[in-house]
Each structure stands twice: as C-alpha cells, then as structure tokens.
Structure 1
Amino acid sequence: MAFRLHTIAVGVCVAALLSLSGCGSDSSTTSEGDPHDLSATTSETSSEMAEVRRDRQDIIDEYEAALEEARKTNGAGTPALWTLADEDTTIHLFGTVHILRPELEWRSDAFNEAFANADKLVVEIDMESEEGMRAMARDFQQKGLYQDGRRLSSEISEADLAALNEALKPMGLPTTVFDPMEPWMAAVTLSVLQLQNDGFDPDSGVETILINEARAAGKSFGYLETASFQADIFDTLPEDVQKQFLYETALALDESSLMLDQIVEEWADGDVEGLGVLVANPETGGGEGIYDALFVERNSNWVPLIEDMLEEPGTIFIAVGAGHLAGPDSVITMLRDKGYEVEGP
C-alpha cells in the first residue's frame, strides 16, 4: 500500500505536477467535459488505506521489489510507439513522461518521422492555450485549496505533520507554506518541489516539447479530458486517503527522484511490461479503487474518442502519460480487445 500511494506522487500524479508548474501556450479544439463523479470509486478504499501507516523502509522495500520484477523484461531501447490505421486515417500513440531531466535524449527516428507527419497533436488536457492555462490554474486552486478556512496543519495528525516538517527541512520551507492546501495538493506540490530541486524540469516534459513543436509547425490540437476532471481524481479521494498520501510522500521524499529516474529508464527502454509493473497495474497503482479512477475509467473514456478520430482523414499523434499505454487495462489493450489491429509492442 505504501509503495502504491508513493507511486502516485512520483509517477502517475505527473499530470497534476505539470498543471501546477504552469507549462504551455496556443490551441484549437476542446474536449467533451467531465464524464464521471469519482467519489464513489475511491471511497471504497478509504478504510483499508487509513488503517495502514508503514514506515520509510516498508515504502522502499515495496518499491524495490516492484523494480526487481520490472527489470526482468526489456524493451526495444527507445520509448514505445503504436500505430492504428484505416483507409484514410493514421493514429500514432506515444506514452509520455510529463517531467524529465533536460539532458535526457529520448527521441528515436521512428518517433521523429511519426510526429513530423502528423497533422494533429492530441494530449490529455489543454496545456497551451490561454483559456486552458486559466482553467488549470482555476480548477486546481479551487479543488486543491481549502475554501472553508481550515488549515492543513490543523487537519493532519502530529505524525503526519512531523513527517512533512522533516521533508521540508532540506528545502528551507516552513510548513505554513502548505497550510492553505488540502492534503492531496500538498503531496503533489511537495513532489514537484523535490523533483525540480533534483534537476527535473517540466519544460523538458514530452508534452511541453511536442506542444511547442506542433504549434511552430502549424499542427492542430485536440484534448481527451479537462483540467477539472483531472483535479477531481485527487480531490475526491477520501480525506484519510489524502492524508496517508501526504504522509507517505513526505516520508520517502528524498527517494522520489531516484524512483522517477528508474521509472524513466523503463520508459526510455520501451519496456512496456516493466513500466506496467511499476506504474499501471492494480497491485502497484494505488489499490483497486484508485487504480480504477486513475487508469481504467480514464482509458475507457478515451477509447471511444480515439475510435471517433478514425473518422478524421489524416494523421493524428496522441501523446498521453505512459502509464495509460501499459499494464493490463491500457488503452492499447482495450483497443485490441475491441478488434482493432494496433501495431507496436
């Protein structure tokens, strides 16, 4: 359980990380809106998670066990790329990491050719138009900050507060900086700060690079969901689950950059199976309720949108978090289960 929640902080949560970092710039299409209320999905895991308060070594041991399993498989040596096509439409699907070290070289010739030939770039949410940026700021602030006068330091336990204080010491930040934040927002912000302090840069994230290049090349844009929907994934977690999320993030914060480096290694190698073990399966994805909300439901929402794209003549490049294209409930698996021939690993 500890590793699962911590994985959200350093891997799956990256959509929120990018939003909070304020990357982006210009666009042309919009998404359909928020299809679900996630509270019912995540509440079923509340009691189970609230009972667990593991120590730092438990978190590290669980992670290392998953990493050992992930390293039993290998990829082709470059990030994986898939292709779905019919008579007049070609759709490329590429799994991304939203925040990377600037020096990492991850592009392949196959990737460059597929992206250059695309007429349209589709990403998870609008991160590049002024309207999209305003929506991200508004939605994450409204959902991630207390609106009723409560303060984080008064809402969490003494043990949780002590873990947060200890995590903040190397940064030289007081806990009061986090007081306006709900626990999930504090956990995500804490992760962002640590990753950035250790050399990760949201401006080097795959989506940010692709958005800038697509805009310069005159490509059109599309989006699969809204910032409000993404914020709801975390905001609708029961409070006790949010508090454990913050506690475990703080407890092993100094390990988070190493963990993300190792996840990125699996991604850069194109090891889809290994990436699934680390990020996108029910055992390491936060428990069934959170895993469903983060992956299964969203992937299920996206598949019909991708099917609709086959009605658009031309070439479309879809870039979404790599966890959505790995694991037993990936977008790729769902498309193949519906009878589509998807080329790729």
Structure 2
Amino acid sequence: MPLLLAACGTTAPGPEARPAMWLVEDDDTRIYMLGTMHALPRGTDWDAGKVAGAIDAADELVMELSPAELAAAGDVFQKLAPRTAPLAIEARLSGQALARYRALEASGNAFGGETFDDWAVMVLMGQRVAQQAELSPADGVETGLTAQFKAAGKPVGGLETAQAQLMLFETLDAATQRILLTRAAERSDNAVAEVRALTAAWSRGDVAALDKVINEDVDAVPAARKAILTDRNRRWSAWVQKRLEQPGTVLMAVGAGHLVGSDSVPAMLEAEGLKVRRVQ
C-alpha cells in the first residue's frame, strides 16, 4: 500500500479497464465498493460500464484519503520518514538485494535512503517502479473520481488521515520493516513486469489473479499483513455497517487489495450476515 506520488493536449484513447466492483445495500442505502489502482497508464478508460452508473447514482464519494489528506501526504512522509541517525544501505542490505537496490537507484535520482527508515526507502522504490512502468497518479482512479464528484458538486471524503496511514508503516517493528525492504530490493529486477501484470489483472476484473498476487506477497510478512490489510479492512467493514444506517448511495473507492481475499472488506461483511454481490 505504498502512497504512489497531464500534460495538456489531446491524447489517443488509452487501454480499456473494467475493474471489479461490489454492492452492499439495505432498504434505503446502497454502498458500491470499487477496487482501485492509485496509478495507471495514461488515458486508461476505467469509468464506463457499471462504474459509470455508480458514479452517477452516488450522493458522495469516500476514498482511503480525502483530497486534503492526499495533498498533505508528502509533508507527512517528510516528517515521518527520516531516521534519527543515518544508516548506510550496505548495513541493511547485502548480496543480491543490495545489487538490485543499487540498480534501481541508478535508474534515476538517488533515493537518499541512508537518511530514511526502511519502510520509507521501500516507498521510494515503489514510486520509482511505478514511473518505470509508466503508471501515473494523475491517471489513477482516485484522481479521476475526485474530479468527477467535485464537478458534480458532490462531497468527497476519506476513511483515514495521511498521518494514520503512514504510521501503519512507521510503527512496524524494525525486523518487519527490514524484511519488507529486503523483499522489495530482491524483487526489484522484475518489479515493473509484476506491476504491469497486477494492473492487467485489475483491468480485467480478475479477482482470482489479484487475490493470488496481492495475498501471496503479503502473506510472507504476517505482521505487515495484519497492520496494512486485515486491521484496516476490519475498520472499514465496520464503517460500511454503520453507514448503512443512513439513507443514500455511496461510492467507496479503495485499493483493490482490500476487496479481494478471505479477509477482504466484502468477506468480512458477509461474515456479519450482509449480502454482498459483485456488480462488475
């Protein structure tokens, strides 16, 4: 769940995407749950089909972060990321992991990772990979949804603050952070291909492929899975249940990884006896 940080003019049509979306409802409330990608290839057509209907029908949009919190995320990162004392990357990584880290760093400006916590170095690596995969936050689902809802005069809110979201990483124990950094470095030589494969699975609405890629990766680090996925999904499913007490239609747009798997938001809602159905 790293936070991935247009030119004017006419562009050719981009790739078509039909991401998975679910609906939970009662007599007077409908909550659409759309799995998002925070960054996408330029011009991706993701907001047609049933998603277009959900956008039109929704009275409000709720994302992981509100626009104001998303705008503040960079400053929060700069506040939380620095170490109390620098630590050379060579003291954290060795062998293949170090070599691949250096190769990724050499593809652009230096990360300055010596001054940052392990989790923050991993975030910087994720941003570089997204750039190399030609994915842009400006073309991500959240950016597009925000523009559409603001243009329609509909409210846009968030489930978390930027501070709370980044503190999920900041408060991971040192051993877990090191494992995450090491795994990211070891896999960085194939990371662009993996990100593109993940984006393609999302575009197809291929829930089984998303589940396999996302959950197999995070399952290898249980402490990270609990903090970054399971605990948040539990809070968000509680939010959905509470929101069902108010009438209206809501579009809830969160990272696709939160909507697939055995401890996803839809699965948790179904475990509470609610009927959740996939509508795209």
TM-score using structure 2 length: 0.86
Amino acid at match of 1:237: L
Structure 2 residue corresponding to 1:150, chosen from 61, 76, 86: 86
User: Structure 2: which 5+ runs fail to align?
Assistant: 6-16
CA contact (8 A) 1:123 1:223 kept: yes
- Name the structure 1 match of 2:9: none
- Which structure 1 residue ranges, 4+ long, deviate > 6 Å from structure 2? none
Q: How does 1:184-199 map to 2 (within 5 A)?
A: 184-199=119-134
Instruction: Check if 1:99 corresponds to 2:99.
Output: no
- Name the structure 1 match of 2:209: 274
Q: Deviations over 1:70-107 (max 9, x none)?
A: xxxxxxx8311111112221111110011111143333
Query: How many Å separate the matches in 2 of 1:216 and 1:152?
Result: 47
Q: How does 1:82-161 map to 2 (within 5 A)?
A: 82-126=22-66, 128-129=67-68, 133-134=71-72, 136-146=73-83, 148-153=84-89, 155-159=91-95, 161=98
User: Structure 1: which 5+ runs fail to align?
Assistant: 1-12, 22-76
- Name the structure 2 match of 1:232: 167
- Secondary structure of the 1:279 match is helix
Query: How many Å separate the matches in 2 of 1:224 and 1:286?
Result: 27
CA contact (8 A) 1:167 1:251 kept: no
Structure 2 residue corresponding to 1:316, chosen from 232, 246, 250: 250
Structure 2 residue corresponding to 1:327, chosen from 254, 257, 261: 261
Relative distance call for 1:181 and 1:152 in structure 2 (3 A) is farther
Instruction: Check if 1:299 corresponds to 2:233.
Output: yes
Q: Aligned pairs, how many?
A: 267
CA contact (8 A) 1:184 1:246 kept: yes
Q: Deviations over 1:109-160 (max 9, x none)?
A: 211011111110000112x12x6523x23432222112x2324447524545
- Name the structure 2 match of 1:203: 138
TM-score using structure 1 length: 0.71
- Name the structure 2 match of 1:250: 185
235-244 vs 271-280, which moves further: 235-244
- Secondary structure of the 1:240 match is helix
Amino acid at match of 1:329: D
- Secondary structure of the 2:115 match is coil
Indicate the percent of aligned positions where both proteins have the same amino acid.
30
